Structure 1
Amino acid sequence: MGWTKSARRKLSLPIITTIICTFLAFIFLLYTERVSTISSGYISRLKPCPKRADDRELESDSIDNLAEDTNDFDPDECSVNHGKWVFNSSIKPLYSDRTCPYIDKQYSCIKNGRNDSYYLHWEWEPDDCMLPRFNPEIALRKLRGKRLMFVGDSIQRNQWESFICLVESVIPKGKKSMKRGRVHSVFKAKEYDATIEFYWAPFLVESNTDIPIKSDPNQRIIKVDSISQRAKHWLGADFLVFNTYVWWMSGLKTKALWGEFENGEEGYEELDTATSYRVALRTWANWIDSTIDPQKTRVFFTTMSPSHQKNKEWGNVNGIRCFNETRPVTKKGHWGTGSNKDMMKVVASVMGRMKVPVTVLNITQLSEYRIDAHTSIYGELQGKLLTDEQRADPLHFADCLHWCLPGVPDTWNQLLFAYL
């Protein structure tokens, strides 16, 4: 039976349409199969595989490359103390006082009841450079087989605990340990054969008030020319980070003693604070110059951490010290009486004469703005959390000296990380 021209014309369009649709469906199947294969391969590459020695070597190289990429920081071209705090809601701290088990109650503000978190989302931006973000893996790589030791007072312990919390979350359980002591505490990152240590020396030089602490400044006597009994414990460290400031600022003249304690600690001389501070720093500097090999040990000195006691200095005439402050000071170059410029000049003068190079971590100006980040009423007093009655009296009990963790000391360690 033959087809008429009319029938052929009626059937040709459906047949052609069917052929085209079939062809397109076939192409689509090939495409989706290809996409599925590519996706599967990509996902499989994301899955962690057992690491061989050469894999670890490649990982090591990639971390070093990342360090080079992120660390364009040049301390000779960057004045870190000139800049501003910028609010960034996307910033999330690398830890919290609930996830890091090494934070003292004294600094655990959120755990102690602080219910605002605004202070956690500010980042420091220098005017003429960018600070690299703190990278725990790179920091631990830099510390492999080394000792990092913080030496100083409770502010330095604040920074030490911050550094530990910044890195500890990437260390597997069972691969880290902490040994606390009254004077010397040691955190170990076993996989890296690294230690991050703290040594309690509030004056750096020796005194009669280190252990046990004499709470009455009138009873404190400082051996301004003696440091060797303490400093012998600092030998062998690859990185030494020092500070001393807060304990000097009692408002009283310093009872300075030369030589050993004798005759019931009599025979001391009363000096003004700047003079005794200079003598003590020279004692420290002489020890550094005569003992430290700069090819083996790198020395840092952290400048003063400001206190914020006088709310009128930042324009809050109705405030109570640092209590209830939730934002940094925005006035450029703000400087309060909680930072003593004469003491800063002493630091600059002494270190300018040293033979061993000392890297100064200038944290004073950037910290001056952060009236919002102190522990305030969310800390401790003589080892005990403040009572409800004490919290209701911030004029007498707010701590405007120490810092919440996470918080401002993380930025100090970001700066330290940049120098590393």
Structure 2
Amino acid sequence: MKLNLLQLLPSWKNWPGTGLVRVILILLITMVFLAIIPIYLHKISPFLLVFLMPRYDQEHKLALPAVDYSHRISAITGSKRTSLRRICNMFKGDWVPFPEGPYYTNETKCVIDNRQNCLKFGRPDSEFLKWRWKPDDCELPPFDGAQFLELVRGKSMAFVGDSVARNQMQSLICLLTSVTRPLDISYILETSEHWFYRDYNFTLAHLWTTHLVKAPGVKPQREVPSNLTLDEVDHSWAAEIETFDYVIISSGHWFLRPLNYFEKGSLVGCHSCSGDEKKKGFDMYYAYRKAFRTAFRTLLALPNFKGLTILRTITESHVGDRREWSEDGDCAMTRPLARGAMELGGDVLKLYVIQMEEFEAAEREGRKKGLKFRLLNITEPMLLRPDGHPNQYGHWPHERVRRADCLHWCLPGPVDLWNEILLQMVKMESQGS
């Protein structure tokens, strides 16, 4: 049965004017109707084609916790009845050959910590630089420095965390070097690392914290326990975070070191200790959960904070003998693993699950207050990159360094993926607004 447009309108014979006038009116209404449809479809299509958030996958050995983000599609498209969903899980895929190689080198004269400058210190192989992450259901666009800087023009971004957070920030600075170089304004502000992109009025910072919560005099030695106050945030980052537009927060392997836990001024437990101090239930996992809960609640309670909070998930170390990252071992592989060749396990798996649970709780609370929480879930992609660590190539050969570095990531290297995905997340939020 064919649909006649005239059936949708009042009887055209009753319309005023001559027959010619009636025909002209009908044609004008038809043209307006046909013009509205493509405009509407153009507005919603970008959000239906690419959706960055993770979903549960029962077929893969590393099953990511289920998080329902359907409300975000409804909010973006402006229709709660929208049922069309084409999800691209940017965090599930494979590493595929990429002969063109990295975006930059150690000679690009960007900021690279010596301990991650693998090419400078003589790493003999370069194949680890010639792989690219391919999500299962879509293509990840190459990093576009000019696009990134335009999206963050007039804004500020803080990486809150330890040296792995700095690792990601330095990767971002190197990726942006193809467009412009920032000014180091740390000395002017007399504070932690701050970089300023003058042409874009964009501030980039690394706010150092080992555990997110108060850890006075935290000790680098692995044999000496440090004291954590689990119910009080680390003010070294919390005191200045309120003005930032983007906050990428992370924490992980420092919790594997010896620690004493305090709450309400009293010692409640410890890690890697014995005797009366060790109390049942107040273990490393309790401390890790409480640290993230304290950090998220701090962000939720700040009266003037309107920024986007992004949780960057924990990564596995790849010590060859599978002992803890703080023990002797190496990570001497030269190419990625195939999917399924290695499973996330042990302490890192438990810490990852805690991160996911605390993130979901913070996101639910954030929606009530109009605050956005997003997930940069790089745990699975990086699980497949044991070849991406400095290993013994973060220092000169004559320097006596007892342990290989199987925790941080060479620059350039697979850590650049984190910022490729970060760009897409910032882009999506910009479009959604």
Question: TM-score normalized by structure 2?
Answer: 0.69
In the TM superposition, 1:14-413 aligns within 5 A as: 73-76=50-53, 77-90=87-100, 92-171=101-180, 176-180=182-186, 184-210=192-218, 213-216=219-222, 218-227=224-233, 229-230=235-236, 231-250=238-257, 252=258, 254-259=259-264, 267=267, 269-270=269-270, 271-291=282-302, 296-311=306-321, 321-332=329-340, 334-337=342-345, 340-354=348-362, 355-356=365-366, 357-379=372-394, 385-388=395-398, 390=400, 396-413=402-419
**Aligned counterparts of 1:97 and 1:171: Cα–Cα separation in 2:** 16
Number of the residue aligned with 1:62: none
In the TM superposition, residue 208 of structure 1 has moved relative to its aligned partner by: 1.9
Gaps of 5+ in 1: 1-67, 261-265, 314-319, 380-384
Letter aligned with residue 414 of structure 2: V
**Aligned counterparts of 2:141 and 2:228: Cα–Cα separation in 1:** 39
Structure 1 ranges of 4+ moved more than 6 A: 68-71
1:70–1:100 distance in 2 versus 1, CA, 3 Å? farther
CA contact (8 A) 1:322 1:374 kept: no
**Helix, strand or coil at the partner of 2:357:** helix
Letter aligned with residue 388 of structure 1: H
1:263-290: CA deviations, max 9, x gaps? xxx8453231110111111111211221
1:148–1:338 distance in 2 versus 1, CA, 3 Å? farther
CA contact (8 A) 2:329 2:403 kept: no
* Identical-residue share of aligned pairs (%): 28
Letter aligned with residue 398 of structure 1: A
Letter aligned with residue 358 of structure 1: F
1:112-167: CA deviations, max 9, x gaps? 11122111110001112222211000000011111011010111110010011111
CA contact (8 A) 1:305 1:339 kept: no
Gaps of 5+ in 2: 1-44, 54-86, 271-281, 367-371, 427-433
1:193–1:389 distance in 2 versus 1, CA, 3 Å? closer
1:97–1:332 distance in 2 versus 1, CA, 3 Å? same
CA contact (8 A) 1:221 1:268 kept: no
In the TM superposition, residue 219 of structure 1 has moved relative to its aligned partner by: 2.5
In the TM superposition, residue 171 of structure 1 has moved relative to its aligned partner by: 1.2
Segment drifting more, 298-307 vs 78-87: 78-87
CA contact (8 A) 1:308 1:338 kept: no
**Aligned counterparts of 1:74 and 1:291: Cα–Cα separation in 2:** 29
1:286–1:69 distance in 2 versus 1, CA, 3 Å? closer
Letter aligned with residue 202 of structure 1: T
1:312–1:149 distance in 2 versus 1, CA, 3 Å? closer
**Aligned counterparts of 1:299 and 1:228: Cα–Cα separation in 2:** 17
**Aligned counterparts of 1:78 and 1:333: Cα–Cα separation in 2:** 23
Segment drifting more, 69-78 vs 141-150: 69-78
Letter aligned with residue 199 of structure 2: E
Q: Whose Rg is larger? A: 1
1:402–1:293 distance in 2 versus 1, CA, 3 Å? same
Segment drifting more, 336-345 vs 234-243: 336-345
Number of the residue aligned with 1:419: 425
1:223-259: CA deviations, max 9, x gaps? 1111162301111000000000110123x4x411124
1:198-230: CA deviations, max 9, x gaps? 0101111110235xx442353301111111623
1:344–1:292 distance in 2 versus 1, CA, 3 Å? farther
1:157-191: CA deviations, max 9, x gaps? 1001001111123116xxx3114579610111100
CA contact (8 A) 2:262 2:268 kept: yes
CA contact (8 A) 1:151 1:242 kept: yes
Paired residue total: 325
1:124–1:338 distance in 2 versus 1, CA, 3 Å? farther
In the TM superposition, residue 104 of structure 1 has moved relative to its aligned partner by: 1.0
1:70-113: CA deviations, max 9, x gaps? 996322422233210001112x3222112133111011100111
CA RMSD of aligned residues (A): 2.8
Letter aligned with residue 425 of structure 2: Y
**Helix, strand or coil at the partner of 1:344:** helix
1:350-385: CA deviations, max 9, x gaps? 122222231111111100110111001111xxxxx3
Segment drifting more, 284-293 vs 194-203: 284-293
**Helix, strand or coil at the partner of 1:347:** helix
**Helix, strand or coil at the partner of 2:146:** helix
CA contact (8 A) 2:209 2:234 kept: no
In the TM superposition, residue 339 of structure 1 has moved relative to its aligned partner by: 6.2
Letter aligned with residue 352 of structure 2: M
